[in-house]
Amino acid sequence: MTASTPSSEQPVPGVRGSALHRFANPARFLRLARAVQPWLLAVTLVSLLAGLYFGLVASPIDYQQKDTVRIMYVHVPAAWMAMFGYSTLAIASAVGLIWKHPLADLAGKAAAPIGAGFTIIALATGSLWGKPTWGTWWVWDARLTSVVVLLFLYLGYIALWNAFEQPQRGAKAAAVLALVGIVNLPIIKFSVDWWNTLHQPASISRIGTPAIDPAMLTPLLLMAVAYLGLFLLLLLLRMRVELAERRVAALQLSRSRAGESR
């Protein structure tokens, strides 16, 4: 990926030195991220290529859905990542609020646009799957509506981060929204069981054997691994962006302070 300058190894002033924040040390995090990245990239690329091959070529058509079942391999893992992303956001927000962990706030900020992206993929591919199978692009059923709410929670979180002049206040407000929005996750998960909706219930998470043929399960799980890898690669990358932007802001601040004292 992008090569970084040696100066990116320097920790942000004020963060270094605290025993409580040992793991919040950005230099330590950046070293770890750089070590993990090539392995993550390799696993992601292999599972993505294999998933695309099995999904588009080496898997059978569904006896009812024909070829449209292939949309499942880009749709279902996107929906999983949309929810995984929100869980990441909520956990990071809780850690940021409770322990004032400076990397946690940034992890939440980094995860939000990625989660929103996967939510958009889930909604768009679901619509493209709905037209040939249900006969409609869109229906306001419980599952679809709760996923739209998820997208707005992501967008609201991003907007709150940017709504305050002091970043700490924005982080706090956004974290509170993220925690309140957790109630939406079980609603998404169980919406297909609680309400009689057009959206089908889960085929994978049932106790016992999955209600799906192994020939279709293979590409689905490969794509799920690939999407998870892409999410984590993007998360590491966006955290590097956020850390670099924070270093720039700290440098600008110290420059203007030094200018005043002179």
Partner 1 sequence: MAEFFAMGGYAAYIWPAYGIAAGVIIGLFVWSWRGLARAERAEAALGRRERRRVPKVERT
Among 37, 68, 203, 218, binds partner 1 (CB under 8 A): 68
- The three-state secondary structure class of 209 is coil
The rounded distance, in Å, linking the Cα atoms of 44 and 233 is 9
Burial 4-42 (b: 16+ CB within 10 A, else e): eeeeeeebbeebeeeeeeeebbbeebbeebeeebeebee
Contact between 42 and partner 1 by CB under 8 A: the answer reads no
Is 114 one of the binding residues for partner 1 (CB under 8 A)? yes
Verify binding: residue 8, partner 1, rule CB under 8 A.
Answer: yes
From residue 43 to residue 62, what is the string marking binding to partner 1 with x (rule CB under 8 A)?
-------------xx---x-
Q: Is residue 255 involved in binding partner 1 (CB under 8 A)?
A: yes
- Residue 194's contacts (CB-CB under 8 Å, 6 or more residues apart) are 142
Interaction mask 119-158, partner 1, x per CB under 8 A:
-xx--xx--xx-xx--------------------------
For residue 147, give the nearest of 194, 181, 104 by alpha carbon: 181
Greatest CA span in the chain, whole angstroms? Answer: 78
CB of 68 to partner 1, least distance (A): 5
Closest separation between CB of residue 244 and partner 1, Å? 4
What CA–CA distance (Å, rounded) separates 78 from 231? 10
180 part of the interface to partner 1, by CB under 8 A: no
Does 258 contact partner 1 by CB under 8 A? yes
The site map against partner 1 for 208-237 (x = CB under 8 A) is ----------------------x---x--x
240 is an interface residue for partner 1 by CB under 8 A:
yes
CA distance 31 to 85: 23
Amino acid making up residue 23: F
Looking at residue 205, the DSSP 8-state letter turns out to be S
Min CB(124)–partner 1 separation in Å = 5
Residue 254 vs residues 14, 243, 260: alpha-carbon distances, Å: 12, 16, 10
Interface residues toward partner 1, by CB under 8 A: 1-2, 4-5, 7-8, 56-57, 61, 66-68, 70-71, 74-75, 78, 113-114, 117-118, 120-121, 124-125, 128-129, 131-132, 230, 234, 237-238, 240-241, 244-245, 247-248, 251-252, 254-255, 258, 261-262
